[in-house]
Amino acid sequence: MSKPGPKPKSALSLHAGIYKADAVKDVAESLGITSLSETVASALASDVEYRVHQVVEEASRFMRHARRTTLTTSDIDLALRTLNIEPLYGHTPHASTTFRRALPFPNTPSAGTVYFVEDEEIDFDKVLREEKIIIPKGVNWTAHWLAVEGVQPLVPENPPAVPREDAAAPPSAALNGKSPQLGLAKSQQASAPQTQPNQLVKQVLSRELQLYYTRLTSSLLPPSTAPAETAKRTAALASLRADAGLQALLPYLVKWIGEGVVSALREETDAEQEGRTLEILLDVTSAILENSTLFIEPYLHQLLPSILSVLLHASLPSSHAKHLRTAAAQMLGRVLTQHSTTYPSLSPRIMKTLLVALLGNTPTAQSTTSTTVNGFAMDTSGTPTRDGARGPPKPLGTREGAIRGLIGIGKEAVRKGILEGGGARIVGEEITASRVESASGVVEAVMMALDTLQPPSDMPETLDSSREEDARLIAQLRDLLGEFFTSRVVSRGDRGWAAGLVASVST
């Protein structure tokens, strides 16, 4: 049996597919290729038809998965994307193109059926008569305060404040171990003036914060020396010092501290228990000031009276007086260091309070002067009476607290109050005149203030009153400090220290 011979070349040129070789030649001529052979055109037509079948088959798969029976342009786009072919632009399923069949050409009946895209006819008179559509503004973002410390600002972005029938009542805790009453109190009566806008958003404490407040206050007071109570008190102070989320409870804690200080200083109770109560309240205040998550500045005007009351009270328990006044003075210095930049008037007010407590109504030789303490200007004028007579003297406990407060503020405050203001001279005269035996605390405070102003010498040189230079220095000390504290300075036997004290006023 003989093998069939090779097919004639004319058979290779035959293409019985849908896509004809003439279409390939037309495309080639549009691109400037005029010498395309019949064999190449037939091969390209076969490849184009294969690619079209592949795209249609892939698109029909998307159509079947979408449970449709009509092939859309979106199916073609998805098929082209799957086959990693550049998609076609201009045809979308949202605005499908309408094709219209053209009338047959009588001159060329072999041209076949022709379809074209029908253009939409636009009536310009109708378009001009229509109302113009205003394009809305785009979406933008802005910032506003929803609430600031429980107060809702009256801005258009915030809803109007709706008056509530019940509001949260501030909690209060008894100092004798009684459980605090935390609950809801009646709001303002209907007879309140209607002209005053209701801008406050009354804050209701959550049950968690109420329970925290109850356990916190009961762990702190009343004071007890039992090991279990001491451990609970240490844990409560550590929680106040480090925990976040206590901002809503801050005004109630500040009020509790103030009421506790007033109650401890007013009531005639056991001195030892009173001293421990004040120490715990100062520890609570210190823990609140150390908590960096709390916004304490709006409540400084409520905390400062409690600190100053402990510092300047005349009759603190003798076993706790030194520790209480020292802790209050250090706390006062910390408040000024942290918050004087925000409140410039804070430093002058505290300085004036301490000077009034130290000097009382005694006339001073200085007129109204101004100085700078911790970088802030303040008025340190004395408070002379109208006729120049000395008013009732301040208790020595109050003067001791004022001196320790000046030490806590800094060297400049000590110089203005103890030396230039005449505080040391006034205290020495009162001790000499009254011959008070319990004046060791105020004497120690004055000597500590002098050490703060001028540190003692490493190699002290003894003062000799027989020498003219030393006698002149002792006279200057007597004018500056008075007879009582001059003898104290001379008895220490440090000539360089004494000269430094005199030089600190002259400079």
At residue 504 the predicted structure's pLDDT band, cuts being 50, 70 and 90, is confident
Q: b vs e for 28-60, b when ≥16 Cβ sit within 10 Å of the residue's Cβ?
A: beeeeeeebebeebbbbbbebeeeeeebeebbe
Residue 1 belongs to some domain of the structure = no
Does 433 lie in the same domain as 404? yes
Q: Are 303 and 286 contacting, i.e. CB atoms less than 8 angstroms apart?
A: no
Residue 300 belongs to some domain of the structure = yes
Does 352 lie in the same domain as 289? no
Query: Which helix (DSSP H) or strand (DSSP E) does residue 494 occupy?
Result: none
Residue 173 belongs to some domain of the structure = no
Answer with the one of 293, 326, 359 that is the final residue of a domain.
326
* Mean pLDDT for all residues in the chain: 77
Does 474 lie in the same domain as 441? no
Does 102 lie in the same domain as 64? yes
Q: b vs e for 200-233, b when ≥16 Cβ sit within 10 Å of the residue's Cβ?
A: ebbeebeeebbebbbebbbbbbebeeeeeeeebb
Residue 497: which domain range? Answer: 457-507
Q: Are 173 and 153 contacting, i.e. CB atoms less than 8 angstroms apart?
A: no
Q: Are 405 and 354 contacting, i.e. CB atoms less than 8 angstroms apart?
A: yes
Residue 236 belongs to some domain of the structure = yes
- Could you tell me if residue 244 is left (phi over 0), alpha (psi between -120 and 50 degrees) or otherwise beta? beta
Residue 100 belongs to some domain of the structure = yes
Does 368 lie in the same domain as 312? no
At residue 388 the predicted structure's pLDDT band, cuts being 50, 70 and 90, is very low
Looking at the chain, the whole-number percentage of residues with pLDDT higher than 70 is 77
Looking at the chain, the whole-number percentage of residues with pLDDT higher than 90 is 11
Contacts of 259 (CB under 8 A, 6+ apart): 172
| Number of neighbours of residue 92 by Cβ within 10 angstroms | 13
Does 373 lie in the same domain as 353? yes
Structural domains counted in the chain = 4
Residue 485 belongs to some domain of the structure = yes
Omega of the bond leading into 6 within 30 degrees of 0 (cis): no
Write the CATH number for 42: 1.10.20.10
Angle (nearest 5°) at CA 305 between 303 and 306: 65
At residue 6 the predicted structure's pLDDT band, cuts being 50, 70 and 90, is low
Q: Are 75 and 104 contacting, i.e. CB atoms less than 8 angstroms apart?
A: no
What letter would DSSP give residue 90? S
Does 468 lie in the same domain as 448? no
Please give the Cα distance from 505 to 370 (Å, whole number): 15
Write the CATH number for 239: 1.25.40.770
pLDDT, tens only, 143-167? 877 777 667 777 877 777 666 554 4
Mean pLDDT, range 449-471, rounded to an integer: 79
Does 370 lie in the same domain as 263? no
Q: Which range scores top for mean pLDDT: 197-206, 327-336, 433-442?
A: 327-336
Residue 151's beta-bridge partner residues? 148, 200
Nearest residue to 454 (alpha-carbon basis) of 502, 493, 397, 406? 502
Query: Which helix (DSSP H) or strand (DSSP E) does residue 376 occupy?
Result: strand 376-379
Q: Say which range, 6-10, 63-67, 182-186, 287-291, has the weakest mean pLDDT.
A: 182-186
Nearest residue to 261 (alpha-carbon basis) of 302, 295, 208? 302
Residue 461 belongs to some domain of the structure = yes
**Encoding tokens for residue 497?**
């220290």
Does 367 lie in the same domain as 254? no
Please give the Cα distance from 39 to 464 (Å, whole number): 131
pLDDT, tens only, 11-49? 444 555 788 888 888 888 888 888 888 899 899 999 999
Does 357 lie in the same domain as 414? yes
pLDDT at 190 over 70: no
Does 397 lie in the same domain as 488? no
- Does the reported pTM lie above 0.95? no
Side-chain-side CA neighbours of residue 103 (13 Å): 3
The 3 state secondary structure assigned to 427-461 is HHHHHHHHCCCCCHHHHHHHHHHHHHHCCCCCCCC
Answer with the one of 297, 326, 355 that is the final residue of a domain.
326
Mean pLDDT, range 384-413, rounded to an integer: 72
Residue 19 belongs to some domain of the structure = yes
Answer with the one of 86, 106, 126 that is the final residue of a domain.
106
At residue 109 the predicted structure's pLDDT band, cuts being 50, 70 and 90, is low
Does 101 lie in the same domain as 36? yes
Residue 376's beta-bridge partner residues? 373
Find the farthest-apart pair of alpha carbons in the chain and give their distance in angstroms, rounded: 155
Question: Which of the pair, 363 or 492, is modelled with greater confidence?
Answer: 492
pLDDT at 65 over 90: yes
pLDDT, tens only, 288-317? 999 888 888 888 888 999 999 988 888 888
Give SS3 for 114: coil
